[in-house]
Amino acid sequence: MSKRWLFLSAAAVLIVVSLALVLLPGDKNDEEVKTEAGHAATASAANSPSATGTSAASASPSAHATGASEKPSATQPARPTATPSATKARQQAAGTASLAGRIRPGVTYRGVATFYDADGGGACLYDPGDDVLTGAMNTTDYESSKACGAYVLVHAAGGATVTVRITNECPGDCAPGQIDLSAQAFAKLASPSAGRIPITWNLVSPSTSDTISIRYKTGSSRYWCGIQAIGHRNPLARLEVLAGGTWRQLPRASYNYFLSESGSGCGGAIRLTDIYGEQLTVPALAVRPDVVQPTRLQFAKH
């Protein structure tokens, strides 16, 4: 056999072996291997919790938040929505807080008590009367007459207490927290010889059989009027008059009258609101200056 024939035979064997290796089952070409490697990497990332969280957060935070609020996941229960009554309660609490002035329900104040010869009259322009358990509030807590008519329970260090109605302002040397009591009220806390004692005090809503009265100020007419509410159980937050079918809130003077400078609403219906948000409507009353006109209305006890 010639050398040429041997060379050709060997080449043929090599070709057959190469073809067999390429066509063996289970082997894949380079493109298929790359494709599957990519799918495997993707699947691995998808099955990783940290990768999922990072991806969702970095891709679109706002979209992720919206989806969470609209459709909670199995691991995060849905947030309960507020019921109408709960929403209403929150709105009422917020309104109450804004209606109260410096003297607020549920707050204890500290100061000192002094006394003077009081007759129930004073800066609030209430008439002197038989009620001897009254007090003059310091200018800061008087708050331009917002304290007028408020009932406060005063506590002495020894445990004695007395409830007084604020009818006057104590200007000058009276510091925040101080109440200048009537002599009779002070005597229920300590001996008059003490002259000045430390106290704490808080707002109260007492039991009463009295109802609210309305008084137009001297000089009032349908062109200008001042209106005062007397005998309200709780501090008064607003006084409104009905004018042209609309309730109009009147500004309050430091002498405890609500003023309608233009006469708007004078002689019409009156709406009273206390610091707890309760509203009472007084039917139209004639403008009768300096005459106390009773109503059948009173705020609820708290």
Tens of pLDDT, residue by residue over 38-82, are 433 333 333 333 333 333 333 333 333 333 333 333 333 333 333
d(CA 138, CA 155): 17
Any idea of the CA torsion for 48, 53, 57, 58, to the nearest 10 degrees? Answer: -30
Residue 281: pLDDT band (50, 70, 90) is very high
Mean pLDDT in residue range 176-205: 98
Tens of pLDDT, residue by residue over 80-100, are 333 333 333 333 333 455 799
pLDDT of residue 215 exceeding 60: yes
Q: Which residues pair with residue 163 across a beta bridge?
A: 153
What strands, in cross-sheet order, belong to the sheet with 270-274?
Answer: 246-249, 236-243, 270-274, 279-282
* Share above pLDDT 90 across residues of the chain, in percent, rounded to a whole number: 66
Residue 24: pLDDT band (50, 70, 90) is very low
pLDDT of residue 31 exceeding 50: no
Question: What tokens appear for 160 in the block?
Answer: 């004695």
Residue 162: pLDDT band (50, 70, 90) is very high
Positive/negative CA dihedral, 159, 141, 274, 295 = positive
Mean pLDDT in residue range 265-273: 98
Largest Cα span, the chain: 150
pTM beyond 0.95: the answer is: no
Are 152 and 201 in contact by the 8 Å Cβ rule? The answer is yes
Any idea of the CA torsion for 61, 62, 68, 73, to the nearest 10 degrees? Answer: -30
Mean pLDDT in residue range 180-207: 98
Tens of pLDDT, residue by residue over 4-23, are 444 444 444 444 434 343 33
d(CA 259, CA 225): 6
Q: Which residue has the higher pLDDT, 118 or 28?
A: 118
Q: Environment class of residue 64 by beta-carbon count within 10 Å: exposed (0-12), middle (13-18) or buried (19+)? A: middle
pLDDT, residue 173, reads 87
Least confident of 38-42, 243-247, 265-269: 38-42
pLDDT, residue 168, reads 98
